[in-house]
């Protein structure tokens, strides 16, 4: 939690204990209505089930699409996702009643008071998902998120039900991520493997596969020479005042700016200058469109450099616990600029024709860059998944 700014932190756990208690009560009332909800017919018996909780998850696992694969969002109050089966836990209300009854005991712990809404959201999910798995037992359950409370609940349920689990990494990871607890983990790079194995509690077979979701984008890579369009990618932790200063400097130096917010960033950005909205295109169209990328702590750096668009680290926040969160600068994956002047000088002096996108420092974050499966990571992932079924 110490890597989040105050606004982002409060957006996750709530502003105060009174507010959190209110959220628990309101959500419990909403759960009551689910008792009368009719789930669509679901068939996961003997299938490969991909757990989806966001569009980003779905994009990361689209390459698995086949008749024996089911994309499933097990949830309580979550919203629907296009082309993903939704299964709502109708009995969650009764677990919530028990949770509320135990509140006097739960609230004795200060961390429970802080994380109250997260605890309530996850309470009962392991038992409910275990029940579903015992009624219809899939061959495997595939995860692409390993650190949210509901994902951890579903992972535990699979262990209880005796269902094999597979993890496919969908973004950069850090030392703050939980240990690997999967039968098979398909990771993007040696960096990811080093991070997870630094946690002694990790227990999983690990294979390195690169970044499967980028395979179809590799054919769209274009040669870049002059830098005219600068992409600026920001997220909820970035300071909008710093963003505005940076945009101003770029425009004053005759660069066209395309700004893209993280999809979860709901803040309104009112800039002095009219710039192109990078959120009107998907993230890969954004990368293919720009000539250079500027961002702080985001896995978009890996995606951009894997698609031969160079990027630079620019700290757009003052949270030093978040600084170089993925060790991009520390490991020499990208350079850092500390102010607008340094950035302008780098842009003016950068030469695409002499830059090596297949160096070992870049491949440290995408194994496919130095292997013969660049553009074939999805095929490699499928190979490991189907081989694991027969073992």
Beta pairing partners, 205: 184
Count of beta carbons in the 10 Å neighbourhood of residue 382 = 15
pLDDT in tens, 23-55: 999 999 999 999 999 999 999 999 999 999 988
* Architecture of the CATH domain 6-168: 3-Layer(aba) Sandwich (3.40)
Work out the pLDDT band at 272, boundaries 50, 70, 90: low
Give the 3-state secondary structure percentages of the chain, helix then strand then coil, rounded to 5.
40, 15, 45
Instruction: Identify the CA nearest to 117 among candidates 127, 129, 103, 131.
Output: 103
Tokens of 176: 């703050």
Same fold, 6-168 and 217-366: yes
Residue 332 CB contacts under 8 Å (≥ 6 apart), including other chains: 361
pLDDT tens across 135-174, in order? 999 999 999 988 888 999 999 999 999 999 999 998 899 8
Query: Going by C-beta distance under 8 Å and a sequence separation of 6 or more, which residues neighbour residue 251?
Result: 257, 273, 275
- Residue 287 is encoded by which pair of tokens? 């990368």
Residue 98 scores a pLDDT above 70: yes
Alpha carbon distances (Å) from 385 to 83, 187, 317, 367? 22, 13, 40, 18
Average pLDDT, the chain: 92
Domain ranges of the chain: 6-168, 217-366
| pLDDT category of residue 9 using cuts at 50, 70 and 90 | low
What's residue 65's pLDDT?
A: 86
End-to-end CA distance of the chain: 39
What percentage of the chain carries pLDDT values higher than 90? 81
Q: What is the dihedral of CA 236, 304, 205, 198, to 10 degrees?
A: -60
Phi, psi of 232 (to 5 degrees): -120, 115
Nearest to 260 by CA among 224, 219, 302, 298: 298
Cα–Cα dist 171/154, whole Å: 20
Whole-angstrom Cα distance, residue 100 to residue 190? 44
pLDDT of residue 5: 54
Confidence at residue 4, expressed as pLDDT on a 0 to 100 scale: 55
Separation CA 144–CA 50 (nearest Å)? 8
pTM of the model: 0.91
In sequence order, the 6+-apart residues with CB closer than 8 A to the CB of 312 are: 292, 293, 294, 334, 335, 336, 337, 343, 346
Q: Where are the beta strands (DSSP E) in the chain?
A: 48-51, 69-75, 85-88, 140-143, 164-168, 184-187, 205-208, 229-234, 256-261, 276-277, 292-295, 311-313
CATH number of 217-366: 3.40.50.12580
What is the token pair recorded at 254?
């005759």
């Amino acid at each position: 939690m110490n890597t989040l700014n105050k606004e982002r932190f409060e957006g996750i756990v709530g502003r105060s204990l009174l507010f959190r208690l209110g959220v628990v009560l309101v959500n419990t009332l909403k759960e009551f209505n689910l008792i009368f909800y009719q789930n669509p017919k679901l068939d996961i018996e003997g299938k490969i089930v991909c757990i989806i909780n966001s569009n980003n998850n779905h994009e990361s696992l689209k390459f698995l699409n086949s008749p024996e694969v089911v994309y499933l969002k097990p949830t309580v109050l979550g919203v629907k996702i296009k082309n993903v089966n939704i299964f709502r836990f109708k009995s969650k209300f009764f677990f919530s009643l028990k949770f509320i009854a135990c509140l006097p005991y739960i609230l004795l712990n200060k961390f429970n008071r802080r994380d109250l809404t997260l605890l309530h959201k996850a309470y009962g999910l392991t038992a409910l998902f275990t029940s579903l798995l015992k009624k219809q037992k899939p061959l495997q359950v595939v995860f692409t998120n390993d650190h949210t409370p509901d994902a951890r609940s579903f992972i535990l349920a699979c262990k209880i039900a005796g269902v094999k689990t597979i993890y496919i990494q969908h973004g950069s990871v850090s030392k703050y991520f939980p240990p690997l607890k999967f039968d098979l983990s398909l990771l993007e790079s040696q960096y990811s493997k080093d991070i997870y194995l630094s946690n002694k509690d990790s227990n999983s077979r690990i294979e390195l596969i690169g970044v499967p979701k980028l395979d179809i984008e590799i054919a769209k890579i274009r040669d870049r020479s002059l830098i005219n369009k600068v992409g600026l990618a920001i997220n909820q932790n970035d300071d909008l005042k710093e963003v505005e200063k940076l945009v101003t400097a770029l425009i004053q130096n005759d660069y066209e700016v395309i700004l893209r917010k993280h999809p979860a960033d709901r803040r309104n950005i009112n800039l002095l200058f009219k710039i192109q909205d990078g959120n009107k295109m998907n993230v890969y169209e954004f990368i293919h469109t720009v000539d250079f990328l500027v961002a702080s702590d985001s896995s978009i750096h890996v995606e951009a450099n894997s698609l031969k668009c160079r990027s630079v680290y620019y700290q757009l926040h003052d949270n030093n616990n978040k600084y170089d969160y993925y060790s991009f600068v520390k490991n020499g994956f990208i350079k850092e600029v500390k102010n607008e002047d340094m950035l302008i000088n780098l842009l003016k002096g950068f030469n695409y024709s002499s830059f090596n996108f297949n160096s070992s420092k870049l491949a440290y974050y995408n194994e496919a860059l130095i292997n013969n499966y660049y553009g074939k990571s999805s095929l490699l992932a499928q190979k490991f998944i189907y081989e694991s079924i027969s073992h």
